[in-house]
Amino acid sequence: MNIQKFKNNLSVLILCGGKGLRLRPLTNDLPKPLIKINQKSILENIIQYFVKYKITNFIIATGYKNKLIDKFFKKKFKNKNIKIVYTGLNSDIINRLRHTTEYSKKYFLVCYGDTMIDINFNKYIKFYLSNIEKITMASYQLKSSFGILDLRKNDNVIDFKEKPILDIWFNVGYFIFSSDNFKYFKKFKKFQNLLKFLAKNNLMKTYKHKGKHITINTLEELEIAKQQIKKFK
């Protein structure tokens, strides 16, 4: 399968149901994905980055303040191929997946509504197609927020590294499932348990993203994102 044919058979699910408690007071009256990074909302930034790669079929899983997200899409994206699905106020991700797969095409890319990476989707899709029997997710290398000590016997410090990049990769989403994988969504009550099952049974691979990464969970991260987004191409 070539990359464009894959894109034509791909639906992107953006998870937008959370309450964003750590972003209060901004989220008292607004769902987190509608918070602006400079002039555009988080959600608008995410969608436009997909569209740049000619990925144009979207499903939006809503929950908290869902009517505001409905209103946003009617104003901003009324002519786009976007399906909005209310998936509950306190639902686990796995429930949001169950509620939305009926609207998906053959392939289903699931991303968080508060996370962006400047991933080259053509390369990412090529990676998935070369491992198509497995579910794919993107990961990002962790940078320590602290100085790290290298210790030896008797607690002697033999080296000090200031906020190094660690040999640890963390989940940034962008999961790609095929419709053959939807059966797994019915087996678990928690998305975390599904991920553990996939890992234990060697059913998942990760694409190590080495570009830029934005996740917005706190007011401090929002301020950092306002600078980082300027570097996205």
Q: pLDDT of 172-217, one tens digit each? A: 889 999 998 998 898 899 999 999 999 899 999 999 888 888 888 8
Domains observed in the chain: 3-231 (3.90.550.10)
Can you tell me the distance from the alpha carbon of 215 to that of 223, in angstroms, rounded to the nearest whole number? 11
- Summarised one tens digit per residue, pLDDT across range 86-130 is 998 888 999 999 999 989 989 999 999 888 888 999 999 999 998
Residues near 160 by beta carbon (within 8 Å), at least 6 away in sequence? 147, 148, 149, 150
Q: Place 144 in a pLDDT band, splitting at 50, 70 and 90.
A: very low
